[in-house]
Structure 1
């Protein structure tokens, strides 16, 4: 036992935060990898004119993630965040390999790949729910925005990694190219599994299960001040005591009871808007978007995903720099407004200048990606991780993740169908309107959480029904 304790004490806070957020790599890699694999897969399986089938292959992971997020949220409340992240890594490894070895059986191959990618989506959805919850429960309130933002940095780094892998493999024979692109996703999953083996469980989960000694030990890894540890333990214990006194039994209906409704609607709403704003249409289909705009073959446009990936990584680093300097709501509203204009302005310019350079839309998409990268992309997961009360955090985070993936799935599924039946500019204009609606939602329905402890957020949300915006000192 003493040997284990000594081993545990060697775990640094940097190691905990790095591997606590590393699940985002899996999330990001699978978002990005199909971008490069799809042109080769289409050619290999002769799917160039099968828009609906292409949409299903691309969006199958998101469909599975809808259920993976909800399921992992429930199970993490029972078994812990750490164990569920380990399970997600195993599932991801298995189905990544099975994707890469898809049999060539004619049309049946497409259905096989769709099913395998749906099962892979269970792990992707689980990671999207578990990582923000784990990071928010490990991070101190004053640095929670920045440290939780590590999740977004990991996601976009995973995307950039997949784009680079796609580019490096593009000169292989078509069949080998897409198979290796999909199968290599098992490598970061293995790294995650090995890293998480040494991670401690969340102190809030440990206290909820009555293990105060272990919770104190974990906090000692990541808090330098003993007084801070005592204060945080007392705060968490008080919240848990109130829940026990109320003898509360959570269920799905509990999420929308009067006590929690306001915070649940805010968190789930932001998660849903993030995807319905159309970001993943760019990330999944940018080579095809450029092909439609310029007439160049999609397989020759694999540098554009790398450009988008670099913008995303730089934006995530910018976010980590400004995360705890600006209110969450302010960043979301400014980002959403610019994103909406980036989608709408090409339509206006094309209407005024019918001979507009077709690459203009790609330039505006880069502006969209830049603002998305340091506003809605990271802040969605920061809010999902910090806005839900402890009693419902796992279940509510899972619900938010599921709504996020419903949006991602629908966007991935219908985008190729929409662009086959209407101009690309019109499709993006629809997403632009949704961005503006997202700004209105944040303005009217989302509380400010910057600078508050998780317990303060719960108290404000449940006792007052709303938090005064633009005043992080409240």
Structure 2
């Protein structure tokens, strides 16, 4: 009888712990939804906003540039404050900025104040993009961390699609479209009020007993389970090892550089393997199928958005089963094949090969959503040491925006000069190089605690050997 009761108690504890980590991931991921929504909403509002506020070319540039400028400031602030503030308070600060930025943008009587609101949203986006992945990773058990870390890029994709759908629903009411972003920001703020801080942040702040109690709750362990002591000891050891670190310059230390290479390298290949050209080319394929320009654009937006979200669910199911590296090879391998097929169909350019163009676009979209889109976020939240996690994710996120900007800047002149076929061929080559990069630089973090990853990083062994089978 006692055995049954003990088993029932353990099951209840595990169940409560599982519920808590999912709740934390879902709530923190709202920052991703807000990021996708606020970054995308400008495309739906530029024309009606210009008619209302009479936007001059210089003012349009100010309005467009205010958000990335705010993101740059937010990345610097998030990296500097993440260690002293902790994950949860900093994320609450981002939620306040999301609400304020949305309301100021919506109610602005002129373009200058509207740009100020967009700047505030940029700060919120950067802080959320730095803090939410770290918060999720630090509260998730090692066995489920990859799946839960995918919640942020999943929510980002939902936010992008939601911005488009809300834009269609409210038509030209740009004020309502901007104001609508305040609602999920308010939900994020209120929900975070009841959530705990992450165990590493508690240990870093000297609140060791609270960290032990939280470790027990998150894992569904009894209060006297010896694994709690071992986990807290590992967290304290990591905090002591990090005592001398904590600023941007330390990211360039020899033992930390491999993590920085992984964080920025994966975002580089994410942007350079064809997502911009593929989205730009898709309306052409739909137009060849007989759709008018507006319908082709709608089909592209809804098609890519729905496919992205559906396949990312598959990625969440696979990332902790088959591992990060295998998923990476599947994603970039699929991208290389589909981009080569797109290059061939674009070169031929006849209706007879249209079915292959559709297949290639679908396969590319699935490959991107399976690995190329989510994995950089997952890996960036895992590979950096505790005190450098905020700065590391900040620099990785900044590199994502910089590489994305460069890719968007380079694509139109390349397409105009050479056509779609060479551009897709170049993206296919970049996908192959990404696979080589993964083989040479990316570690397998499946099932490893963050403390184990950090210990391996500081050991001086090549980072890629983490999780590799031992040689006989």
TM-score (norm 2): 0.82
Say whether residues 1:94 and 2:100 are aligned partners: yes
Ranges in structure 1 where 5+ consecutive residues have no aligned partner:
1-8
Q: Whole-Å Cα distance in 2 between the matches of residues 139 and 447 of structure 1?
A: 19
**Map of 1:19 onto structure 2:** 27
Q: Is the 8 A contact 2:345 2:356 kept in 1?
A: no
Q: Is the 8 A contact 1:27 1:158 kept in 2?
A: yes
Q: Is the 8 A contact 1:166 1:181 kept in 2?
A: yes
Say whether residues 1:135 and 2:154 are aligned partners: no
**Map of 2:212 onto structure 1:** 216
Matches within 5 A, 1:204-353: 204-225=200-221, 226-244=225-243, 248-279=244-275, 296-298=292-294, 301-353=297-349
Match of 1:84 among 78, 87, 90: 90
Q: Is the 8 A contact 1:59 1:412 kept in 2?
A: no
Say whether residues 1:467 and 2:459 are aligned partners: no
Q: CA 1:12/1:466 → structure 2, altered by over 3 Å: closer, same or farther?
A: closer
Shift in Å, 1:62: 4.3
**Map of 2:7 onto structure 1:** none
Matches within 5 A, 1:353-432: 353-354=349-350, 361=357, 364-412=360-408, 415=411, 423-432=419-428
Q: Whole-Å Cα distance in 1 between the matches of residues 178 and 228 of structure 2?
A: 44
Shift in Å, 1:116: 4.5
Q: Whole-Å Cα distance in 1 between the matches of residues 438 and 28 of structure 2?
A: 28
Shift in Å, 1:257: 1.0
Q: Whole-Å Cα distance in 2 between the matches of residues 146 and 354 of structure 1?
A: 42
Shift in Å, 1:383: 0.5
**Map of 1:4 onto structure 2:** none
**Map of 2:13 onto structure 1:** none
Q: Map Cα deviations across residues 226-267 of structure 1 (whole Å, 9 max, x no partner).
A: 3332221111112223344xxx14332211112211122122
Q: Whole-Å Cα distance in 2 between the matches of residues 89 and 281 of structure 1?
A: 33
Shift in Å, 1:318: 0.6
Shifted more, 383-392 versus 94-103: the winner is 94-103
Q: Is the 8 A contact 1:34 1:284 kept in 2?
A: no
Q: Whole-Å Cα distance in 2 between the matches of residues 288 and 253 of structure 1?
A: 46
Q: Is the 8 A contact 1:55 1:412 kept in 2?
A: no
Q: Whole-Å Cα distance in 1 between the matches of residues 408 and 301 of structure 2?
A: 16
Q: Is the 8 A contact 2:91 2:128 kept in 1?
A: yes
Say whether residues 1:195 and 2:153 are aligned partners: no
Q: CA 1:301/1:353 → structure 2, altered by over 3 Å: closer, same or farther?
A: closer
Q: Is the 8 A contact 1:145 1:382 kept in 2?
A: yes
Please give the root-mean-square deviation of Cα atoms over the aligned residues, in Å: 3.7
Q: CA 1:97/1:455 → structure 2, altered by over 3 Å: closer, same or farther?
A: same
Shift in Å, 1:212: 0.5
Shift in Å, 1:379: 1.4
Matches within 5 A, 1:67-82: 67-82=73-88
Shifted more, 455-464 versus 27-36: the winner is 27-36
Q: Is the 8 A contact 2:453 2:466 kept in 1?
A: no
Shift in Å, 1:79: 0.8
Shift in Å, 1:32: 3.9
Q: Whole-Å Cα distance in 2 between the matches of residues 387 and 123 of structure 1?
A: 24
Q: CA 1:430/1:42 → structure 2, altered by over 3 Å: closer, same or farther?
A: farther
Ranges in structure 2 where 5+ consecutive residues have no aligned partner:
1-16
Q: CA 1:75/1:289 → structure 2, altered by over 3 Å: closer, same or farther?
A: farther
Q: CA 1:352/1:301 → structure 2, altered by over 3 Å: closer, same or farther?
A: closer
Q: Whole-Å Cα distance in 1 between the matches of residues 68 and 425 of structure 2?
A: 23
Q: Whole-Å Cα distance in 2 between the matches of residues 121 and 297 of structure 1?
A: 32
Say whether residues 1:30 and 2:38 are aligned partners: yes
